[in-house]
Amino acid sequence: MANEEAKVTQENGITEYINHHLQFLQVDYTTGIVQNSKKVTSVSDYNNCLSQKKSPEQCLKELHATDCHFSDLGTSTCVPYESEQPQGLINPNIINVDSSLISILLGFIILGFFGVGVKKSKESKVPGKFLTAIEMIIEFVNQSVKDIFQVQNKLIAPLSLTVFMWVFSMNLLDLLPVDLLPNICKSIGIPYIRVVPSADVNITMAMSVTIFLLILAYTFKYKGIKGFVSDYALHPFNTWFLAPVNIFLEGVSLLAKPVSLGLRLFGNMYAGETIFILITIFFAFDPSSSSILSVAVFNLILACLFLIMRFTAKDNSAVKSINLVAFFIAILLSAYQFYAYWYNIGSEENVIVFYLVDLIFAAACLALAFLHKENKAKLWGLISTAAIILLVCLGSSLYGVLPIGIVSGTILNLVWALFHILIIFLQAFIFMILTIVYLASASTAEE
């Protein structure tokens, strides 16, 4: 009986975990109410009530919970609550605040990125690495436009560059640990957050509909009303007698362009995000705060090792740069883990994510050790690798998880992450290329 209750509890926990990570931060703009969330006087009291094996409904009733409004976010008073009342599939009053704000923020970051590049290009006659990277991106997009779009147009190249960089930056957020931002936001009173905007069908379809409107505009601009009508009334059968059939067939083909463009991007990124979540569930376990503290201290030590390797590398500037980047990453991870311990959110973390990152660092230390020519740097790299592997095995044994389970989960995450990097780039590239192709087709007059 106890085993059955434990199994049911585990299944409920897994279901809640998946639903929480796939839930958007939705706000009704007419009332300002945050969907699937309630406001309580104290989050700690709510968590204590849940720890007594009471249902969320009972705890919310005892704490006299009210609706959570947009202005309450970030005040550590809003808690997630899955309402059992059925919601409609489409509600025009609901806005996905997280994906919308993240998309806008990424847009400004891209503008700043290229703005800095333009400023540097005016100040420096010899381009550095930063300017070289920007020039490579611009040349790559320009060449793609020249190969496909044969008509002179000042909008297509900037539009293609914007589409490529925007979609790529949205997709790139899928490589962040699945629990990183959601748990940070949850600790400050933001109940939900979906990090990847391109996993929101509203974002992808909004972009594809914009491209669809441009297709119509370019068709009228370059072909005129007569050309527009003939395109859809006289194809594929060149007779007015079959015009209704032609309009139906070409209309379906025209509407399929934005639908396929938006759903293709959404489907790939949603599936990638879901697979990361499933891998985390299969190989995750709940740590205590002490385990997070030990990993935080270890990452701090690891940052020092990277710094030592940085200053002992005298032969290869690239290796020195990699060591410096790894140092800052280790510092940020350590700071986040100290934060998780200090605010007592360790029970909601998946320490497998930290172990995964540490195993990646172990591989990095090992690779950097062999890239160094100095024996001291090699020694530090080998020491770091051995220490990380020992930490992972020790942590897994303390929590009753076999090392082979952690290693398997790590390998799966690494393999999927490496494969997903290809998907991230390809989806941005495909979205850009199809945008150019559709607009080129709309602007090319029939001979």
Read off the pLDDT of each residue in 153-162 and give the average, rounded to a whole number.
90
- Break the chain down into helix, strand, coil percent, rounded to 5: 75, 5, 20
Mark whether 202 is an active-site residue: no
Res. 76 pLDDT band, cuts 50 70 90: confident
* Nearest C-alpha neighbor of 182 from the set 17, 333, 35: 17
Q: If DSSP codes are grouped into helix, strand and coil, which group holds residue 201?
A: helix
Distance, CA of 178 to CA of 186 (rounded, Å): 13
Confidence of residue 282 (pLDDT cuts 50, 70, 90): low
List 80's β-bridge partners, or say none.
37
431 falls in which pLDDT band (50, 70, 90)? Answer: very high
Tokens 């389970």 sit on residue: 405
Set 100, 268, 384, 443: catalytic member: 268
Whether 288 and 360 have beta carbons less than 8 Å apart is answered as: no
Backbone angles phi, psi at 24, to 5 degrees: -85, 160
Cα 25 to Cα 97: distance, rounded to the nearest angstrom: 6
- The residue from 91, 93, 253, 260 that is catalytic is 260
Catalytic, 36? Answer: no
Per-residue pLDDT tens over the stretch 100-142: 999 999 999 999 989 888 888 887 777 778 888 888 999 999 9
Measure the CA–CA gap between 43 and 429, rounded to whole angstroms.
44
| Phi (first) and psi of residue 179, to 5 degrees | -95, -5
Span 219-265, pLDDT tens digits? 888 888 887 788 777 777 777 778 888 888 888 888 999 999 999 99
Q: How confident is the model at residue 404 (pLDDT cuts 50, 70, 90)?
A: very low
What distance in Å separates the CA atoms of residue 372 and residue 381, rounded to the nearest whole number? 9
pLDDT band at 430 (very low <50, low <70, confident <90, very high): very high
pLDDT in tens, 345-355: 544 444 555 65
Tell me, what's the pLDDT at 337? 61
Helix/strand/coil for 315? coil
Is 264 assigned a catalytic role?
yes
d(CA 164, CA 168): 6
H/E segment holding residue 352: helix 351-371
pTM over 0.85: no
Listed in order, strand segments (DSSP E) in 30-151 are 33-39, 66-69, 78-80, 94-96
Confidence of residue 266 (pLDDT cuts 50, 70, 90): very high
Task: Report the alpha-carbon distance of residue 62 to residue 77 in Å, rounded.
Answer: 15
Helices 156-172 and 129-148 meet at what angle, rounded to 10?
A: 120
